[in-house]
Amino acid sequence: MLHKALLLLPLLAAPLLAQAEIKYKVTDIGVTTSYNFNTGPYLNNRGEVAGTVGYDAGYAWTSFLYTGGAASTVAQPGSSVYFAGLNDNGVVAGSLGGKAALWQNGVATEIGAAGSAAAGVNNHGVAVGSVNNGGRSNAAIFSNGQTQVLSTRSGSASAINDSGVVAGTVDVTDEEGHVTRDGFVYQNGAMTTFGAGPAHEGVFVEDISEQGTVVGMAGMDGGDHIYAYTWNNGQMTDLGALYTSGGGRSWSSAKAINSLNQVVGFSAANRNFQFHAFLYENGAMVDLNSLIDPSLGLLLDSANGINDQGQILATACDDMFTFTCKVVLLDPLSPVPEPATYGMLLGGLGLIGLIARRRRSA
């Protein structure tokens, strides 16, 4: 009897296994770009997207906003509008005519002087970025019409969370006199740097979570090992890569993190160092191309954002050399089976346990 019940278990679990392969639905938001390694676009918790994409022989960029299920062009190529951040209230951060600016409901407000740029904004409307300070770029906060310079060292601020913790990069001189970059967090008037040391070639910061975890890219061993990382409370963690060649050479970069500590970015995925988008969760890096319908014929080469609903913003390119790409949203399919399916599985497991107990007591 126990043998027959065990044979039944795969049939009960079959619906679970069938759902495990494709985990995301892909939506083309109607924005094309001929270059995939831009610094955005950016995704908020409402599923809205803002960014500046596109690259051609004339170095022309196009700024756009995706909301309500449709994308609209905000600034044509050749304009001085550059989008570099987006909060949950639909406020966009960036630069306008060489000055830090915020956009809301189509209206732009300058928040910095000439030579400034905003790179991120939190849900309280506090923006961060950089200012030109005596010919040197310095990390800065823009709030209530005031600009606060965070350090006299060259650098910039990349992101700010709702607790007001700022993350970014600053220049540092190593033991041999070479200038490289440290990551930093700025909180309660104090700056903490990380990543300096003889093994590091530089640390670049992309995002910070509400819990204060920083993500980005760091280099080691003369640039042979470029890796995605997380940093929190003094602990820097190498997230690994989808592919590592002989000698330990690899390349990956983390672009965004959500409140569930899910991280997305891109990584070399084969010996040709072709880049694929990744999702890092529960201590493992997974190629996002393995989690979408292969019949779509898409190559997700970079994931640039992830929100608290698990939506992922990515670029899908048809060729790694021509960079003909489009911006897509990945909506997670429910990883939890229907209650009836769980009931069948749990019922089957309970039946097996009952039979096993009866056999032991007989």
H or E segment and range at residue 103: strand 99-104
57-66, 275-284, 311-320, range with the lowest pLDDT:
57-66
Average pLDDT estimate for 10-34: 67
Query: Is 178 or 70 the better-scoring residue by pLDDT?
Result: 70
pLDDT score at 6: 33
Residues 278-291: what's their mean pLDDT? 97
Q: In the predicted model, is pLDDT for residue 335 greater than 70?
A: no
In the prediction, which pLDDT does 108 show?
95
Range with lowest mean pLDDT among 58-62, 186-190, 213-217: 58-62
Q: Which of 102-111, 248-257, 338-347 has the lowest mean pLDDT?
A: 338-347
Please state, for a pLDDT cut of 70, what percent of the chain lies above it.
78
Q: Are 168 and 141 in contact (CB under 8 A)?
A: no
Write the pLDDT tens digit of every residue in 109-128.
999 999 999 999 999 999 99
CB 143 within 8 A of CB 161: no
Q: Stretch 306-333: mean pLDDT, rounded?
A: 86
Mean pLDDT value of segment 290-312: 95
Average pLDDT of the chain to the nearest whole number: 83
pLDDT tens digits along 82-116: 999 999 999 999 999 999 999 999 899 999 999 99
Q: What residues does each domain of the chain span?
A: 80-191
Residue-level pLDDT at 55: 60
Q: Which long-range contacts (CB under 8 A, 24 or more apart) does 336-342 make?
A: 337/15, 337/16, 337/19, 338/15, 341/15, 341/16
Residue 330 binned pLDDT confidence (cut-offs 50, 70, 90): very high
Tens of pLDDT, residues 41-52: 999 999 999 998
Predicted local distance difference test score (pLDDT) of residue 346: 40
Which has the closest alpha carbon to 204: 163, 242, 166, 254?
254
> What is the token pair recorded at 108?
């732009």
What single letter denotes the amino acid at residue 13?
Answer: A
Mutual angle of helices 339-361 and 2-19, in 10-degree steps: 160
Q: Could you report the per-residue pLDDT of 181-209, keeping only the tens digit for each?
A: 899 999 999 999 998 555 567 899 999 99
Q: What is the mean pLDDT of residues 68-79?
A: 81
Size (the chain), residues: 362
Asked whether the bond before 337 is cis by omega within 30 degrees of 0, the reply is no
Strand-pair partners of 109: 102
pLDDT at 177 exceeding the cut of 90: no
Q: How far apart are CA 207 and CA 255, in angstroms?
A: 7
